Amino acid sequence: MKLYSRPLSPYSSVIRCIAYYKNAPVKVVAPPAGNPIPEEFRAVSPFKRIPVLVTGSGLTIIEAPVIAEYLEEHFPEPAILPADSRDRAVVRMVARIAEQEVLVPVMQLFELLYFKSSDAKQISALYERMERGLAELEERIGHGAFAHGDQLTLADAWLTPIRFVFNNFRQLSGRSDLLEPYPNFDAYEQRILQDPVLSVVWYEMTDGLKVFMKTLESA
């Protein structure tokens, strides 16, 4: 199997986390260099997005949630979804909230703030959406070693890159106190760094950020 991924990509990081946890035979490769991804990559990914998983049979799978489901079904052990239906629902809700109500608005805010957008109404609406999402995560994340229960789950795979993103987002936004109302989510970084799988993804993103910053400096 081949996974097209970039170290700093949150969506790619979710899939790498799952693949590492399952010790799946996945070779991680980079898409063509360039930002945005060059047009030639459309032959692999019709929307020029990563991650993309190419299976041993040649099937190309796009979209991180779909790839995550495929890996869970193809490599069922260790599982990233609990056996109990209630717990599975909780884990899926945390993962969905993290993606749709936190990561999506944050990535949009990154772009607007970086390019110094004057659309104050849109920026305010995105902050409100993000803060509602963070409040939900704060209530739903457990206090143990992982987001839910005593084993790594799909929720942790999503929360790890999203929590990483906030260290840089706080700096860009000038809101160093952004996570103060969400101490559980803020402290989740320490859980990541103590886990042998989640920490690998965290440090890959750290290295990817360094490369990205050098690229910006030389542009």
Residue 35 is predicted with a pLDDT of: 85
Residue 9 is predicted with a pLDDT of: 97
Q: What is the pLDDT of residues 120-173, one digit of tens each?
A: 999 999 999 999 999 999 999 999 999 999 999 999 999 999 999 999 999 999
Q: Cis before residue 183, ω within 30 degrees of 0?
A: no
Domains of the chain: 2-74 (3.40.30.10), 85-212 (1.20.1050.10)
For residues 39 and 45, what is the distance between their CA atoms, to the nearest angstrom? 10
Residue 137 is predicted with a pLDDT of: 98
User: Under a CB-based contact definition with an 8 Å cutoff, are residues 13 and 64 in contact?
Assistant: no
Can you tell me which residue has the tokens 């950020």?
Answer: 209
Q: Which residues of the chain have pLDDT under 50?
A: none
pTM of the model: 0.96
Q: Where are the alpha helices (DSSP H) in 23-152?
A: 64-74, 85-97, 104-114, 120-140
The pair phi, psi for residue 60, each rounded to 5°, is -100, 125
List, in order, residues 6 or more apart from 81 with CB less than 8 Å away: 72, 88, 91, 92, 153, 154
What tokens appear for 120 in the block?
């104050």
CA distances in angstroms from 203 to 23, 30, 83, 171, 216, listed in the order given: 18, 17, 30, 19, 20
List, in order, residues 6 or more apart from 191 with CB less than 8 Å away: 145, 146, 198
What tokens appear for 75 in the block?
């490599």
Residue 216 is predicted with a pLDDT of: 74
**144 alpha carbon, distance to own chain's centre:** 20
User: Under a CB-based contact definition with an 8 Å cutoff, are residues 122 and 150 in contact?
Assistant: no
